Amino acid sequence: MAKLYFRYGAMNSGKSTALLQAAFNYEERGHRVLIAKPAKDTRGDRQIVSRLGVTRNVDFLVEAGESLREAFARHSAAVGGVSCLLIDEAQFLTRAQVDDALRIALIDGVPVLAYGIRTDFLTEAFPGSARLLEVAHSLEELKTICRCGRKAIFNSRQVNGRFVFDGAQVAIDGDSVTYESLCGACYLEESGGMLGATTLVG
């Protein structure tokens, strides 16, 4: 039986690198894969970009209101069938699209490997990640370290070099917005002891 896998970690934990490695492993053995990502992720346009400098074009983008299963079926048929679907930035999927990913595994018999982060800069779950944690067959944490050397679990946002703890859940564009992975203790220190949002805008 094919399965739905969710491989998650804080930012800079090597998720895109792991996805590209998985694709390479399949293709090295003569299997065809499809790579997708939500259109909401505008970094790199139609590319998967690894911190190690490896890039690869995605086969298709998933729009917010689109059926993932229908899009997968179209692109799979166009190439004569595939052995695996890999999804980058899976936190940006809708709950319905995660359910489609599960159907692709269980009904269509194609493994789905989804990679993403669990929570936003306010420690609140993205809808796609929350649903993946609920329904995926396999959960695997990809680890990275905080600046203090402990395991990083939270994603902090900086605007113009200053930590911020309010704003829209998604802020990708703009040179002034950056992110840093922090352990719980460092996150609490930077946030003044705050976890979560008092008011989430957007």
For CA atoms 159, 53, 16, 148, the dihedral sign is negative
| Whole-number Å distance between alpha carbons of 38 and 134 | 20
Provide the annotated active-site residues: 89
How many CB atoms are closer than 10 A to CB 105?
Answer: 22
| Whole-number Å distance between alpha carbons of 92 and 5 | 16
CA-to-CA dists, residue 49 to 18, 55, 61, 111, 140, angstroms: 11, 5, 15, 22, 21
CA-to-CA dists, residue 188 to 99, 123, 181, angstroms: 34, 11, 12
Residues paired with residue 35 on neighbouring β-strands, in sequence order:
86
Residues paired with residue 114 on neighbouring β-strands, in sequence order:
6, 87
99 Cβ neighbours under 8 A, 6+ residues apart: 131, 135
